Amino acid sequence: MASVPSLASTVQQRLAEGLSAALPEAGSADPLLRRSDRADFQANGILALAKQLKGNPRELATKVVGAIPENDVLKEIEVSGPGFLNITVSDAAIVRTLAARAADDRLGVPFNEAAGTTVIDYAQPNVAKEMHVGHLRSAVIGAAMVEILEFTGEKVVRRHHIGDWGTQFGMLIQYLIEHPHELDHRSEDADAETSGAEAMSNLNRLYKASRALFDSDEEFKTRARARVVDLQAGDEETLALWQRFVDESKIYFYSVFEKLDMDIQDPDIVGESGYNDMLQETCRILEESGVAVRSEGALCVFFDDIKGPDGNPVPLIVQKSDGGFGYAATDLSAIRDRVQNLKASTLLYVVDARQSLHFKMVFETARRAGWLNDEVKAHQLAFGTVLGKDGKPFKTREGETVRLQDLLDEAIDRATAVVREKAGKVGLAEQEIVENGRYVGIGAVKYADLSTSAVRDYKFDLDQMVSLNGDTSVYLQYAYARIQSIKRNVPDAGPVAHPELELAPAERALGLHLDQFGETLAEVAAEYAPHKLAAYLYQLASHLTTFYDQCSVRHAETQEQKENRLFLVDLTGRTLQRGMALLGIRTPERL
């Protein structure tokens, strides 16, 4: 495993050397390098420097160029406009750098030297409730961030903060006590998916029935409330029944996660109930330190800048006046656990943007309490709402939440149809069509979720998602499969880098883009912005398409050129595959 410096960083370094040799008085000035359409790179840093040194920018630029030591990376540097540098790197440098990447398992991507431990809170559905599209977003975005962060060397601890506690369990448990067989319906030898669906439909029925009773029968309501007290007091029978709800829900959750091709592990599911034993102490610490104060019997934290519509301050309620604890007390306790026991340096929350105020208050409270500080940071990776085609929050025509299972099934069905249409040409067997249909369908849903900036709302449009043209995962998957087919169809050559060859413009463009993989990942990890990885991969596939149009592999002019083109194609395939895997999307070999 050897990390490979990108051409951008090599060029940056050569320029910096030229700068400090020509203008020692400038100190270590940044040449401000970026990719450019005019040449390979452009540097604008000398403009600001000239101002600072009161010199003529073009003259200074010429002096800097003259001072750059002899090297075999820079092919041409031209002073242009008011004093920019247009920089072209040599073809040989491109191919050599890519060859170094190809020789490395990690494609030369360096580990982050400042890596720490991130506890990531994602995929957190609620017990006894149907999962909805918001839970899908958290799971998809969170899983991608897990992979990306781990790839950059971060230690990642996963936490699925499921909603498994609260007053509604009093009602559910009491109902189950009075109707003991309500959770028993289960068909023999059902597969995971059917069991999941059955579990959810049982829970749904029970939820509705107990809710109806709770709303209509005062005596039941009283018994349900008493049951909450038993639950919180740790009464064994009550806890055992609560556990049944959790277990039943997990059967359902796992069936959805499995369909999503997502690996969720039991020990990482630490729901709200997991912090129950800490709540009392969290409140005590907050009250004794003065971070929280009693107000009308409730334990509250106030903020100068958070006010309601009436202008009165809106507090974070840590403990209600009846002694009950809510969502905030749990999250504050979870922070203590994650910082003190899990030794996190970063807490990342992949949660709906509509909970941003909650997290803002929780994080600020934790800072005042000293749990968060300069060494331990918290960040909400907030995501927007999933909208229907009509631009309104995604609901069925009847106004109900869309069942996730149905949605995923539909995506798979449509994708399978797309795959089937092309299957004849590729010679796919039925089993491959079915498998690829799943990969394409689930990939489409994930990619749609990941390819726009998380915080923006996005439209759930299956037609668009499985389209072969445009910014979709299918387009990327086809690009990958096409690479494999080219490799199969050119049996008389293998991928070999030839730095001595001259490159065509499309080869250079593809090569330079391939070289940016590591830098892109570093940015994606630092900014928690998986959409930038999606954009990078889409551009990669687009460069590949242009390359195919302009540079034939099969009909290359020489054997060396053929090998070199295969080398570029092969590295593109590996980069696509790695990048897609980080997003949780499969790349079938044949499509």
Q: Give 351 or 369: the residue with its C-beta nearer to ligand ARG.
A: 351
Contact characters 68-107, ligand ARG, x per CB under 6 A: ----------------------------------------
Cα separation, 173 vs 167, whole angstroms = 10
Query: With contact defined as beta carbons under 8 Å apart, do 444 and 434 qualify?
Result: no
Q: Which stretch binds ligand ARG (CB under 6 A): 120-128, 140-148, 408-416, 581-589?
A: 120-128
Q: Give 87 or 351: the residue with its C-beta nearer to ligand ARG.
A: 351
From candidates 45, 83, 142, 163, binder to ligand ARG by CB under 6 A: 163
Collapsing DSSP to helix, strand or coil, 286 comes out as: helix
Q: How far is CA 492 from CA 49, 143, 484, 555, 560, in A?
A: 54, 41, 15, 12, 12
From candidates 26, 351, 428, 466, binder to ligand ARG by CB under 6 A: 351
From candidates 14, 161, 250, 562, binder to ligand ARG by CB under 6 A: 161
If we measure between CA atoms, which residue out of 576, 562, 547 comes closest to residue 498? Answer: 562
Helix (H) / strand (E) element for 76: namely: strand 74-80
CB of 331 to ligand ARG, least distance (A): 5
- If one asks whether residue 123 binds ligand ARG (CB under 6 A), the answer comes out as no
Which residues does residue 78 pair with via DSSP β-bridges, in sequence order? Answer: 86
- If one asks whether residue 121 binds ligand ARG (CB under 6 A), the answer comes out as yes
CB atoms within 10 A of CB 477: 27
CB of 347 to ligand ARG, least distance (A): 9
Count Cα neighbours of 325 within 13 Å in the Cβ-side half-sphere: 20
Collapsing DSSP to helix, strand or coil, 457 comes out as: coil
Cα separation, 497 vs 102, whole angstroms = 9
Phi-psi region at 137: left, alpha or beta (left = phi > 0; alpha = psi -120 to 50): alpha
Q: Which stretch binds ligand ARG (CB under 6 A): 119-127, 239-247, 285-293, 400-408?
A: 119-127
From candidates 90, 118, 124, 365, binder to ligand ARG by CB under 6 A: 124
Cα separation, 515 vs 187, whole angstroms = 54
What is the per-residue burial (b if ≥16 Cβ within 10 Å, else e) of 451-470?
A: bbebeeebebebeebbeeee
Footprint (CB under 6 A) of ligand ARG, residues 453-472: none
- If one asks whether residue 31 binds ligand ARG (CB under 6 A), the answer comes out as no
Contacts of 42 (CB under 8 A, 6+ apart): 33, 34, 35, 36, 84, 85, 86, 87
Indicate if the alpha-carbon torsion angle 213, 217, 220, 226 is positive or negative: positive
CB of 247 to ligand ARG, least distance (A): 18
Phi-psi region at 290: left, alpha or beta (left = phi > 0; alpha = psi -120 to 50): left
Which residues does residue 294 pair with via DSSP β-bridges, in sequence order? Answer: 299
Footprint (CB under 6 A) of ligand ARG, residues 312-331: 331
Q: Give 40 or 337: the residue with its C-beta nearer to ligand ARG.
A: 337
Q: Give 122 or 458: the residue with its C-beta nearer to ligand ARG.
A: 122
Q: Give 126 or 210: the residue with its C-beta nearer to ligand ARG.
A: 126
From candidates 126, 484, 572, 587, binder to ligand ARG by CB under 6 A: 126
Q: Give 161 or 498: the residue with its C-beta nearer to ligand ARG.
A: 161
CB of 273 to ligand ARG, least distance (A): 12
Footprint (CB under 6 A) of ligand ARG, residues 547-576: none
- If one asks whether residue 164 binds ligand ARG (CB under 6 A), the answer comes out as no
- If one asks whether residue 437 binds ligand ARG (CB under 6 A), the answer comes out as no
Count of residues in contact with ligand ARG, rule CB under 6 A? 9
- If one asks whether residue 346 binds ligand ARG (CB under 6 A), the answer comes out as no
CB of 257 to ligand ARG, least distance (A): 15
If we measure between CA atoms, which residue out of 71, 4, 14, 22 comes closest to residue 43? Answer: 14
Q: Give 31 or 142: the residue with its C-beta nearer to ligand ARG.
A: 142
Q: Give 349 or 538: the residue with its C-beta nearer to ligand ARG.
A: 349
Contacts of 431 (CB under 8 A, 6+ apart): none
How does DSSP classify residue 272? G
CB of 131 to ligand ARG, least distance (A): 9
Q: Give 334 or 521: the residue with its C-beta nearer to ligand ARG.
A: 334
Query: With contact defined as beta carbons under 8 Å apart, do 38 and 44 qualify?
Result: no
Q: Give 213 or 339: the residue with its C-beta nearer to ligand ARG.
A: 339
Helix (H) / strand (E) element for 119: namely: strand 117-121
Q: Give 127 or 514: the residue with its C-beta nearer to ligand ARG.
A: 127
Footprint (CB under 6 A) of ligand ARG, residues 479-538: none
CB of 349 to ligand ARG, least distance (A): 6
CB atoms within 10 A of CB 284: 12
Contacts of 291 (CB under 8 A, 6+ apart): 285, 301, 365, 368, 369
- If one asks whether residue 160 binds ligand ARG (CB under 6 A), the answer comes out as no
Q: Which stretch binds ligand ARG (CB under 6 A): 121-129, 185-193, 276-284, 562-570?
A: 121-129
If we measure between CA atoms, which residue out of 126, 361, 378 comes closest to residue 252? Answer: 126
CB of 132 to ligand ARG, least distance (A): 8
Q: Which stretch binds ligand ARG (CB under 6 A): 118-126, 181-189, 420-428, 476-484?
A: 118-126
Could you list the residues that contact ligand ARG (CB under 6 A)? 121, 124, 126, 161, 163, 331, 334, 349, 351
